Amino acid sequence: MERFPIFVLVLLHPAYSIVTPYHPVPECAADAPFVVPNFKANWFKAVEYCHYLGRSLVTVATEQKQHAIDQLLDAADSYPREQSYWCGANDLADGDNFHWHLTGRPIAIGWTNWRDELHRREQAGEMDAFKVRCVSMSRTADDVEELQQQQELPSSSPSPPPFSWIWTVANCWKELYFICERTGGISGCR
């Protein structure tokens, strides 16, 4: 007697599904200039997720945009201030020369908001394939204290307030919060 294998197809009930972050995003309004998803991701996943939303990882190439980001993160109680946030720059293709992912433009050509030159080069001494460096924005306790001291100093002419979210370098595989921005036309927020 010959035996034939029997295959059983199991269908999942519609109530069961795999949960991923790729579901409608309640915080994503189509007309909002920025979206801050409520989960952490490495830099590559952050780029992918922003693209999923029809957006891109934020490019902070002007003082005006940095002020807008500062206001967004400082004004809302829902964004943790002790955390860092990915923005859209890295030195993956050209070690120690950071470029904006969306435009390919070198950061050094335009306006920058590095904490300081030493901090930007902090991890560059030992370049290898596993030390990939991407740009994040952070606001550490030391940064806040320094900013408060700067704001308390008397000055003869009014100057704009210092930026509260400064650029730092982090390993791209580290999981951080991130900011997506609307670029061009209408966002494809899902």
How many other CB atoms sit within 10 Å of the CB of residue 91? 22
Handedness of CA 171, 24, 101, 83 (dihedral sign): negative
Strand intervals (E) in 9-148:
34-35, 56-57, 85-90, 99-100, 133-138
d(CA 185, CA 64): 20
Which CATH number is correct for 34-122+131-147+162-182, 3.10.100.10, 3.40.50.2300, 3.40.50.1450, 2.60.40.420? 3.10.100.10
**36 CB-near residues (< 8 Å, 6+ apart):** 27, 72, 73, 79, 85, 177, 178, 179, 180
Model confidence, pTM = 0.71
pLDDT of 113: 85
What parts of the chain have a pLDDT lower than 70? 1-30, 76-78, 116-131, 140-163, 185-190
State the greatest distance between any 2 C-alpha atoms of the chain, in Å, as a whole number: 100
Q: Contact at 8 Å (CB) between 179 and 87? A: yes
pLDDT of 90: 93
pLDDT of 136: 93
Q: Contact at 8 Å (CB) between 120 and 113? A: no
